[in-house]
Chain A
Amino acid sequence: MGLLSDPNRRRALISLLTRLNSPICVVCYMAGVAWFMGLAFEPFTLRTYMSENAMGSTMVEERFPAGERALTTGREFSAHKKKAGGMPVDWLVKTMQARGLEVFTQRFSRKLPFPDENKERYMVKGTNVYGILRAPRAPRTEALVLSAPCTPGDSNNQAVGLLLGLAQYFRNQIYWAKDIIFLVNEHDLIGMQACITFSPDSCRGGSIQAALSLELSSDVITSMDLVLEGLNGQLPNLDLANLFYAFCQKIGVLCTIQGKLQRNDWDSVSGYSHSVQTMMLMVMKQASGRPWGDHGLFLRYHIEAASIKGINSFRQYKTDVTTIGRLLEGMYRKLNNLLERLHQSYFFYLMPSLSHFVSIGYYMPAFGLLAVILLLRALDLWVQLATPPPRTEDGITDKEQVSSPGVLSVLTPLVISHLTGVALYTLPIQFQEMAVEQFPVSETEAVVLTAIGVYTAGLALPHNTHRLLSGEGTEQGWRVLKLVAVLYLAVLLGCTALINFSLGFILALTLVPVAAFVTPHVPKVLSAFILVILSPACTLLFSVFFFQELQELPVSFQEGWLLYLSVISQGILDHFLYGSLVYPLIALLVYPCWLLFWNILFWK
Chain B
Amino acid sequence: FNKTLKLLMLNQWLTVRCVLIPRLKSPGVKRRFRIYSSALLVLQWLTNKDYKGGERFLVKMAAPLTLLVILSVTIRAVLYRSSLAEVISERVEVVSPLTAWKRVVEGLALLDLGVSPYSGDVFHETPLIIYLFHFVVDYAEITFMLADVITAVALYMAVMDYNKQVFRKQKYALEADRYPLDCLELIRSPKEMYYIPLKVAMFYLLNPFTILSCVAKSTCGLNNAVIALFILTTIKGNVLLSAIFLSLATYQSIYPLTLCAPALLYLMQRQFIPVNFRRVSFWWFIAQYAFMYLGSLFVIVGLSFFLLGSWDYVPSVYGFILSVPDLTPNIGLFWYFFAEMFEHFRLFFLCVFQINVFFYTIPLSIKLKEHPVFLIFMQLAVISIFKSYPTVGDIALYMAFLPVWSHLHRFLRNIFLVSCVLLACSALFPVLWHLWIYAGSANSNFYYAITLLFNVAQILLVSDYFYAFLRREHHLSYGLYLKRKDGSEATLVLK
Residues of B2-56 at the interface with A, using a CB-CB cut-off of 8 Å, are: 14, 18-19, 21-22
For A375, the chain B residues whose CB sits under 8 A away are 420
Cβ–Cβ contact B424 & A494, under 8 A: yes
Top-7 shortest CB links A-B: A347-B441, A395-B22, A302-B440, A495-B431, A491-B427, A382-B416, A7-B491
For A10, the chain B residues whose CB sits under 8 A away are 413
Given contact pairs A348-B441, A399-B14, A487-B423, a sample of 17 additional A-B residue pairs in the complex whose CB atoms are under 8 Å apart: A4-B417, A5-B493, A7-B491, A8-B491, A10-B413, A300-B438, A302-B440, A341-B440, A347-B439, A378-B416, A379-B416, A394-B22, A487-B420, A495-B427, A498-B435, A499-B434, A499-B435
- The reply on B225 being an interface residue by CB < 8 A is no
- The reply on A396 being an interface residue by CB < 8 A is yes
Residues of B429-443 at the interface with A, using a CB-CB cut-off of 8 Å, are: 431-432, 434-435, 438-442
Interchain residue pairs with CB less than 8 A apart (15): A4-B417, A4-B460, A7-B491, A302-B440, A347-B441, A348-B441, A375-B420, A378-B420, A396-B22, A399-B18, A491-B423, A491-B427, A494-B427, A495-B427, A499-B435
Complex CA distance for A499 and B423, rounded to whole angstroms: 18
Complex CA distance for A395 and B17, rounded to whole angstroms: 10
Residue of B nearest to A497 (CB): B431
Residue of A nearest to B460 (CB): A4
For B435, the chain A residues whose CB sits under 8 A away are 498-499
- The reply on B414 being an interface residue by CB < 8 A is yes
Cβ–Cβ contact A302 & B424, under 8 A: no
Range, interface on chain B = 20 to 34
The DSSP consensus for interface residues of chain B is helix
Bits for A1-25, please: 1 = Cβ < 8 Å to B, else 0: 0001111101000000000000000
Cβ–Cβ contact A395 & B21, under 8 A: yes
Residue of B nearest to A490 (CB): B424
Cβ–Cβ contact B413 & A7, under 8 A: yes
With both chains docked as a complex, state the minimum distance between the C-beta of B98 and any C-beta of chain A, in angstroms.
29
Residue of B nearest to A347 (CB): B441
For A234, the chain B residues whose CB sits under 8 A away are 439, 441
Complex CA distance for A68 and B266, rounded to whole angstroms: 91
Residue of A nearest to B430 (CB): A495
Complex CA distance for A381 and B428, rounded to whole angstroms: 24
With both chains docked as a complex, state the minimum distance between the C-beta of A17 and any C-beta of chain B, in angstroms.
12
- The reply on B494 being an interface residue by CB < 8 A is yes
Residues of A490-517 at the interface with B, using a CB-CB cut-off of 8 Å, are: 490-492, 494-495, 498-499
Cβ–Cβ contact B440 & A347, under 8 A: yes
Cβ–Cβ contact B441 & A4, under 8 A: no
For A394, the chain B residues whose CB sits under 8 A away are 22
For A399, the chain B residues whose CB sits under 8 A away are 14, 18
Complex CA distance for A253 and B21, rounded to whole angstroms: 88
Partner of B431, one of A6, A378, A499: A499
Chain A positions within 8 Å of B, measured between CB atoms, are 4-8, 10, 234-235, 299-300, 302, 341, 343, 347-348, 375, 378-379, 382, 394-397, 399, 487, 490-492, 494-495, 498-499
Residue among B413, B414, B440, B491 with the highest chain A CB neighbour number at 10 A: B440
Complex CA distance for A4 and B456, rounded to whole angstroms: 13
Residues of B444-482 at the interface with A, using a CB-CB cut-off of 8 Å, are: 460
Residue of A nearest to B491 (CB): A7
With both chains docked as a complex, state the minimum distance between the C-beta of B340 and any C-beta of chain A, in angstroms.
18
Residues of B395-436 at the interface with A, using a CB-CB cut-off of 8 Å, are: 413-414, 416-417, 420, 423-424, 427-428, 431-432, 434-435
For B22, the chain A residues whose CB sits under 8 A away are 394-396
Cβ–Cβ contact B494 & A5, under 8 A: yes
With both chains docked as a complex, state the minimum distance between the C-beta of A275 and any C-beta of chain B, in angstroms.
24
For A300, the chain B residues whose CB sits under 8 A away are 438-439
Residue of B nearest to A385 (CB): B416
- Beyond A378-B420, A487-B420, whether A396 also contacts B18 by CB under 8 A is yes
Complex CA distance for A115 and B442, rounded to whole angstroms: 37
Complex CA distance for A302 and B460, rounded to whole angstroms: 38
- Beyond A302-B439, A395-B21, A396-B18, whether A495 also contacts B428 by CB under 8 A is yes
Cβ–Cβ contact A4 & B413, under 8 A: yes
Partner of B414, one of A4, A302, A490: A4
Complex CA distance for A399 and B17, rounded to whole angstroms: 12
With both chains docked as a complex, state the minimum distance between the C-beta of B67 and any C-beta of chain A, in angstroms.
14
For B439, the chain A residues whose CB sits under 8 A away are 234, 299-300, 302, 347, 499
With both chains docked as a complex, state the minimum distance between the C-beta of A111 and any C-beta of chain B, in angstroms.
21
Residue of B nearest to A234 (CB): B439
Complex CA distance for A492 and B493, rounded to whole angstroms: 36
For B423, the chain A residues whose CB sits under 8 A away are 487, 491
Complex CA distance for A352 and B16, rounded to whole angstroms: 70
For A395, the chain B residues whose CB sits under 8 A away are 18, 21-22
For B19, the chain A residues whose CB sits under 8 A away are 396
Complex CA distance for A260 and B294, rounded to whole angstroms: 77
Complex CA distance for A524 and B428, rounded to whole angstroms: 36
For B440, the chain A residues whose CB sits under 8 A away are 302, 341, 343, 347
Residue of A nearest to B431 (CB): A495
- Beyond A302-B440, A394-B22, A499-B434, whether A494 also contacts B491 by CB under 8 A is no
Complex CA distance for A487 and B424, rounded to whole angstroms: 9
